[in-house]
Structure 1
Amino acid sequence: MKAVCVCFEVHLPLPLRWYWPQEGYGDVHIEKYFDMEKAFHNFTKLAENVETLNDTLAASIENGGKYTLDVSGVFLEQCKWSPEIIDGFRELDPGSVSFAASPYYHSVCSMFPDMTEFREQVEMDRGMIKELFGREARTFVNTELLFEKRALKVLKEMGFKCFISEGSHNIMNGYDPMHVYDNTVPTLLRHINLSEDLEIRFSDNAWPGYPLIADKFASWIASMEGDVITLYIKYDAINTHLQNNKEILRFLKELPLSLKEKGIEMVLAEDAVDMFKSTSLSSLDSKTTARYGMHNLLGNHAQHLFMHELVDTGEQIGSIKDPERRKEMLRIYRYLQQSEIFLEMNSEERRFGYERAVNDLSILSDIERAIIREAKR
């Protein structure tokens, strides 16, 4: 039997402000660097339809659907503005929905030289999932589906059963990811084309596959060779489709039935690694990858410089004597690890990317000044 794993990423970043240093470099606090008004606006736009999306998942589950949810700690913190969203996720059938862990701050800390920060953020996220949903996270999804071999040793030590990463061309050598892959932690790789059919192209009426209905999608999967197809889709992308094409709701409801007609089962990611024999993939021993390529995260000098300064800043935080000030500084530092900060510095509009880099490095400079001042107190 062939199977399909569907994982939704539920995340909204905390956006940086355009920062203008003032004489004297004042006190350090979240609102000084992060645009909370914009964050609230973005959250409100998504929250308007989350109840609809969760109701659709519940209907899909009644038809045999199973889903893995990768909900970031950053998003869960924003749910203070609409606590009922957490209740909606909590009410989904626990036998058909699992929660994956990831770095709490949707951060790139798995690329740091020292893996301590990575381990701490994963523990934070796993603890939050346990606290809010009463569930143990057995699947891990790294930020931006980043594949970093060093992280897998940590994940194995932490007891994770499954790892989901990007099925990029440099990993797959031109083939589609259709198996459970043998690794330090058994690995599922995102099928990029099928995932983006739902995430990006679904509402594009110029796309040859438009309109995409569940039966057509199930037929495509049935025609493929392999054991398991992994789809990884941003929840926010489904919300965007709702603005133009509410047929995405019908698609999600009918997908389990259409797959079942073709002899295909929807399964949770952690269950897939038990159902199928793992397949060897030699490139997993030597390659690194991320969603849309590593060059998007660390492809230019500005990104490398920001990464270097970020790591250096983290090493300095321990010198702050006041525990409350150290805790607040650590929180700000961790928000600065968000992958979106790196991605914006690699904007296709080179001027925008450059301006972002200057802005972000100015923020780090201010924080480093504050750490030095606090350490002397």
Structure 2
Amino acid sequence: MKAVCLCCEVHVPYDVKWYWPEEGYSKVEFENYFDQYKIYSRFEKFVPHILSINEALLESMDRGASYTFDISGIFLDQCRLHPAVIDSFRDLKNRGAELACSPYFHSVASLFPDKMELREQVKMHRMKLKELFKYEPKTFINSELLLAKDISPIISQMGFKCYISEGSENLLGKKEPVYVYVNDMPTLLRHIDLSEDIEDRFSDTEWVCYPLIADKFASWIANMDGDVVTLFFNYGSLIKHHKKQDNIIRFLIELPKSLQKHGIEMILPETAVDTFGHEPLETLKTNATSRYGLHNLVGNHIQHLYLYELIDIGKMLHEIRDSPGYHDLVYVYRCLQQSEILLEMGPENTHLGAERAVNVFSVISDLKRAILEEKK
């Protein structure tokens, strides 16, 4: 193995609260449908951990590490109350970290037949990164690592240089994702097992490889064939390990030197695209995928119905785009596109999924009511 790309998704979702219009219908507002207390109290608890981890990442960058951060627009909006968090990511960017672009609201808009909403949210995120960080992103990472044949041509047309998606079995078979792959644009695929060693198993004392130290992890990668391994995990998993007082900080600081012992560099995705040859992978043109499989997003009737409701509301909103209440309505609509809402209704959440579906369909119903009233 020659190189490693390490990517972190930085995202804290907006939680839908229990909604029932007990006192009649009112104006559509964010706080009617989303649990602001839960959202911001959780963020407050995260802040000190974020700052500590980012300090460790700065130290690891001094030792040769490279990082790519996919920071959602929703997360950046929550940072308004804690500008020090933005400053800490700005320090990482100034040290050489890459910032990736994605749909602003961690949205499933790429599943809509009309890709205009996807384009709009990608533009929004690109503008926010330019506003806060003076940065022009070159790498695109879709919500839940979604990939389908009608998405990457659009992202390529928007000027991005690299696409990162899931290294799922329906794309690779039994092969490992260890190359830059040919598609409408160069594509890197997440190595699921190695990513989850950090994301899920790092704190598991029952895991046969516990404790995971940097030298051990680097030796696994060194014994692999190929050009580049792409690691992608949720930044929240680092916070989880840090809360447990695990050795995640030491692991991150020591990893670049451990990799260097084996002649392996930590590089940015755009560097990988320029450095290595591009391998053909025909399934990128025919198959769709997402993190842990597309069935987790649209694997049951409720999820399909919710997706079609979102598509229908998008058409309704297009008809009133010049009305005074449009911006408030479209903001709530975009918050309701969060991938987490679909995942919570998934086949694996047998009992809670149905309960949450009843609740979120109540919100959808009220939003449609408000749009119809706006049309009058």
TM-score range, shorter chain: over 0.9
2:192 is aligned to 192
After TM superposition, give the deviation of residue 323 of structure 1 in Å. 4.2
Aligned to 2:29: 29
Look up the SS of the partner of 1:181 in the other structure: strand
Aligned to 2:50: 50
Confirm whether residue 156 of structure 1 aligns to residue 185 of structure 2. no
In the other structure, the counterpart of 1:182 is 182
Is residue 325 of structure 2 the alignment partner of residue 325 of structure 1?
Answer: yes
Structure 1 residue 21: Cα displacement:
2.7
1:5 aligns with 2:5: yes
Question: Counterpart in 1 of 2:142?
Answer: 142
Cα displacement (A) at 1:149? 1.7
Residue in structure 2 matched with residue 64 of structure 1 by the alignment: 64
Other-structure match for 1:96: 96
After TM superposition, give the deviation of residue 23 of structure 1 in Å. Answer: 5.3
- C-alpha contact 1:318 1:326 (8 A) present in aligned 2: no
2:48 is the alignment partner of 1:75: no
Which whole-Å CA distance do the structure 1 matches of 2:263 and 2:322 have between them? 61
Deviation at 1:353, TM superposition (A): 0.6
**Counterpart amino acid of residue 316 in structure 1:** M
Worse-superposed segment, 41-50 or 165-174: 41-50
Distance 1:112 1:131, change over 3 A: same
Alignment match, 1:373: 373
1:96, distance to aligned residue in structure 2 (A): 2.5
Instruction: Give how far 1:45 is off.
Output: 2.0
More displaced 10-residue stretch of structure 1: 310-319 or 219-228: 310-319
Q: In structure 2, what is the equivalent of residue 261 of structure 1?
A: 261
Using the TM superposition, give the Cα deviation of residue 95 of structure 1 relative to its aligned residue in structure 2, in angstroms.
Answer: 5.1
Indicate the SS of the match to 2:206: coil
Q: Distance in 1 between matches of 2:321 and 2:243?
A: 50
Distance 1:157 1:69, change over 3 A: same
Alpha-carbon distance, 1:348 to partner:
2.8
Instruction: State the Cα distance separating 1:320 from its structure 2 match.
Output: 3.1
Answer yes or no: is the 8 Å Cα contact 2:93–2:99 preserved in 1.
no
How far, CA to CA, are the matches of 1:135 and 1:166 in structure 2? Answer: 25
| Offset from partner CA, 1:5-31 (integer Å, 9 cap, x none) | 000100000010111133532211000
**Number of residue equivalences:** 376
Q: Partner of 1:14: helix, strand, or coil?
A: coil
Query: Which of 146-155 and 222-231 deviates more?
Result: 146-155
Pairing 1:357–2:376 present: no
Q: How many angstroms apart in 1 are the aligned matches of 2:305 and 2:93?
A: 45
Deviation of the 1:350 alpha carbon: 1.6
Once the two structures are TM-superposed, the CA of residue 246 in structure 1 deviates from its matched residue by 3.1
Deviation at 1:81, TM superposition (A): 1.9
Deviation at 1:36, TM superposition (A): 0.6
Give 3-state SS (helix, strand or coil) of 2:86's partner: helix
| Contact 1:203–1:245 under 8 Å retained in 2 | no
Aligned to 1:121: 121
Aligned residue type for 2:268: L
1:290 corresponds to: 290
Instruction: Classify the secondary structure of the residue corresponding to 1:328.
Output: helix
Looking at structure 1, the residues matched to 348 and 338 of structure 2 have their Cα atoms a distance apart, in angstroms, of 19
Runs of 4+ with >6 A deviation: none
Residue aligning to 1:228 = 228
- Contact 1:12 1:75 (C-alpha < 8 Å) held by counterparts: yes
User: SS in structure 2 opposite 1:288?
Assistant: coil
User: RMSD of the TM alignment (CA)?
Assistant: 1.2
1:301 Cα deviation after fit: 0.6
CA distance in 1, matches of 2:324, 2:122: 22
Between 1:145-154 and 1:68-77, the stretch displaced more is: 145-154
* Unaligned runs of at least 5 residues, structure 1: none
Structure 2 unaligned regions, length at least 5: none
Equivalent position SS for 2:68: strand
Distance 2:213 2:241 in 1: 14
Distance (whole Å) between structure 1 residues aligned to residue 94 and residue 27 of structure 2: 45
Partner of 1:205: 205
Which residue identity is paired with 1:142? N
Separation of aligned partners in 2, 1:9 and 1:223? 27
- For residues 205 and 95 of structure 1, the distance between their equivalents in structure 2, rounded to whole angstroms, comes to 34
**Match for residue 20 of structure 1?**
20
Structure 2 residue matching 1:91: 3-state secondary structure = helix
Aligned equivalents of 2:63, 2:321: Cα separation in 1: 56
User: Once the two structures are superposed, what CA deviation does each residue of 1:274-293 show, in whole Å capped at 9, x if it has no partner?
Assistant: 01000011111111111111
In structure 1, what residue type is equivalent to 2:80? K
Question: Which residue matches 1:315?
Answer: 315
